[in-house]
Amino acid sequence: MIALPTTARIFLYSRPADMRKSFCGLSGIVRSELGYEPNDGSLFLFINRRGDRLKALWWDDDGLVLFYKRLEVGTFQLTHSADRPAVKIDSTELAMLLKGIDIRSARRRKRLQAQDRD
């Protein structure tokens, strides 16, 4: 089992990505379009135009890791954002995305957040 750190930020690229890109190509998107460094510990998600393939780029302690998932049936949800090239999601939304749940229509019930405690 591969476990990501719970502190990792997760960014879903909001445009269709070319699945022919590998480490260097996806790192270039992260640097030039998202303005982040691929080795900052964040997880970057990329979905193709048809929505049936997903690549995840993540920096492990000593190198880049590339995860690739191809669906046999169904699609991933590509979240479009007109004003920014990526949408920040949390680990719960990532799990829903991977399970085929539409994260745009999912509603969260109110909970105490760390920043709410004063």
Query: What digits encode the pLDDT tens for the residues 8-54?
Result: 899 999 999 999 999 999 999 999 999 999 999 999 999 999 999 99
Of residues 49, 57, 62, the one with CA closest to residue 25: 57
Q: 26 near 57, Cβ under 8 Å? A: yes
Q: Is 104 helix (H, G, I), strand (E, B) or coil?
A: coil
Query: What digits encode the pLDDT tens for the residues 84-113?
Result: 899 999 888 888 888 888 777 766 667 776
Q: Cβ of 48: how many Cβ atoms within 10 Å? A: 18
Mean pLDDT of 51-76: 92
Residue 117 has pLDDT above 50, yes or no: no
From the number of C-beta atoms within 10 Å of its C-beta (0-12, 13-18, 19+), residue 45 rates as buried
Q: How far apart are CA 30 and CA 32, in angstroms?
A: 6
